[in-house]
């Protein structure tokens, strides 16, 4: 069984050239809590840190000592110990971030037209890739302020790594796609209106689409694209800058996974994709592992349990230990398989907790486990 290359989390957090840490991976592996714990530990060690979370669950806000998190960073008041730096936190509001981007790139009058357009109100919350893109848009906004020397991002849970890495390009391409661009045809024909189109070809297109989605929605979409057209260059430029930021030397990716086949398969694919995209991978966080607590094999524990059947409590403890050893061995085999496939990827293991994290002390405990 190959030995893990240990991920030095504190070295990553302490490095002054480390400006952005992106926590990514599939859903349900503890990514949000890991990001918050990293941010707290970084602040404790002297960094001016902000954590951007995508998880709307209020338990994270409660763990940070806040009633709620909003779309702008709020400072977290740390009690019980004195951090050398500062901790700030925010939760992505996808719609508000999209609205802010429109206001930046369009004049006041055009921005108002866009924000009130029913088609915009639909795509700003439900268009494929919008959440992933807006997470990176918010990252760009935070990085541009220079108010924090470390930004930690909890990325949206995705079935595929492609959803996150491709979001800027995918959303930009979709909004620049042939079908949607045809919706601007009536306006570019000289303002004759939706029914007076430039060609029989577009007329057939409009009739077909109108039958499917309704004439009013088609009109809304056309009006949206007319207003959006002038700011589209700025939209694409932001996507390009986001891609550059993700590849910069000050950015590091941490892949978070549970020691389960599906999660590690996703992590493996993510590692390969990051390498293919020349994005800087710091390592893997194997979360919720079950280390053995005593130097007693499963066989020895079961043999001992048979010999103490007249002591129910001792027998139960021994059988529980045997189950724990079997689980730990299974996790070790899975992690060893990952290590064989990716020997260059440093790894750190975080033991499973008895329950959810409810306060800063719990996050601090996870931070210690991340580095031990």
Residue 315 domain-assigned (yes or no): no
Question: The domain spanning residue 22 has which CATH number?
Answer: 3.40.50.300
In a domain, 137, yes or no: yes
Query: pTM score, two decimals?
Result: 0.82
In a domain, 300, yes or no: no
Which two three-digit tokens encode residue 23? 């926590």
Helix (H) or strand (E) holding 25: none
Q: What is the spatial distance between Cα 372 and Cα 370, in angstroms, rounded to a whole number?
A: 6
Give the model's pLDDT for residue 67: 81
Rounded Cα distance, 15 and 47, in Å: 10
pLDDT-derived band at 202, boundaries 50, 70, 90? very low
Phi, psi (deg, nearest 5) at residue 366: -65, -40
Quick one: pLDDT at residue 309? 75
| End-to-end CA gap in the chain | 21
Rg (CA), the chain: 25
For a pLDDT cut of 70, what percent of the chain falls above it? 77
Band of residue 21 on the pLDDT scale cut at 50, 70, 90: very high
**Domain assignment of residue 218, yes or no:** no
The rounded distance, in Å, linking the Cα atoms of 298 and 323 is: 7
* Residue 351 within any structural domain of the chain: yes
**119 falls within a domain:** no
Count of structural domains, the chain: 1
Query: Is residue 99 domain-resident?
Result: yes
Q: Indicate whether 237 belongs to any domain.
A: yes
The lowest-confidence range among 28-37, 121-130, 353-362 is 121-130
- Name the band, by pLDDT with cuts 50, 70 and 90, for residue 288: very high
Tell me which residue of 164, 161, 105, 91 sits closest to 133, measured CA to CA.
164
Q: How far apart are CA 35 and CA 37, in angstroms?
A: 5
Domain range holding 132? 9-111+128-177+233-293+334-371
| pLDDT tens digits along 329-345 | 999 999 999 999 999 99
């Amino acid at each position: 069984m190959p030995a893990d290359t240990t991920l030095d989390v504190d070295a990553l957090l302490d490095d002054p050239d480390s400006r952005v840490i992106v926590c990514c991976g599939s859903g349900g592996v503890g990514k949000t809590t890991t990001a918050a714990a990293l941010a707290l530990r970084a602040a404790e060690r002297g960094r001016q840190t902000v954590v951007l979370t995508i998880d709307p669950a209020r338990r994270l806000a409660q763990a940070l000592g806040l009633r709620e998190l909003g779309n702008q960073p709020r400072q977290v008041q740390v009690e019980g110990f004195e951090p050398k730096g500062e901790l700030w936190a925010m939760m992505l509001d996808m719609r508000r971030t999209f609205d802010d981007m429109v206001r930046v790139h369009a004049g006041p009058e055009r921005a108002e037209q866009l924000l009130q357009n029913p088609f915009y109100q639909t795509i700003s919350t439900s268009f494929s890739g919008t959440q992933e893109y807006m997470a990176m848009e918010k990252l760009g906004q935070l990085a541009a302020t220079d108010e924090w020397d470390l930004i930690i991002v909890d990325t949206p849970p995705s079935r595929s790594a492609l959803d996150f890495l491709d979001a800027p390009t995918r959303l930009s391409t979709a909004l620049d796609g042939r079908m949607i661009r045809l919706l601007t045809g009536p306006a570019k024909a000289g303002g004759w209106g939706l029914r007076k189109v430039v060609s029989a070809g577009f007329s057939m297109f409009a009739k077909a689409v109108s039958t499917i989605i309704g004439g009013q929605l088609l009109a809304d979409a056309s009006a949206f694209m007319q207003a959006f057209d002038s700011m589209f260059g700025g939209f694409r430029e932001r996507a390009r800058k986001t891609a550059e930021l993700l590849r910069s030397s000050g950015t590091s990716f941490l892949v978070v996974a549970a020691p389960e086949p599906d999660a590690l398969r996703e992590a493996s694919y993510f590692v390969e994709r990051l390498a293919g995209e020349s994005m800087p991978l710091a390592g893997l966080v194997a979360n919720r592992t079950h280390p053995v607590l005593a130097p007693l094999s499963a066989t020895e524990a079961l043999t001992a349990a048979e010999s103490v059947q007249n002591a129910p409590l001792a027998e139960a403890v021994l059988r529980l230990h045997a189950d724990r050893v079997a689980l730990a061995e299974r996790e070790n085999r899975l992690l060893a398989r990952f290590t064989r496939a990716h020997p260059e990827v440093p790894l750190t293991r975080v033991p499973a907790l008895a329950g959810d994290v409810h306060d800063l002390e719990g996050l601090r405990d996870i931070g210690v486990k991340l580095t031990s």
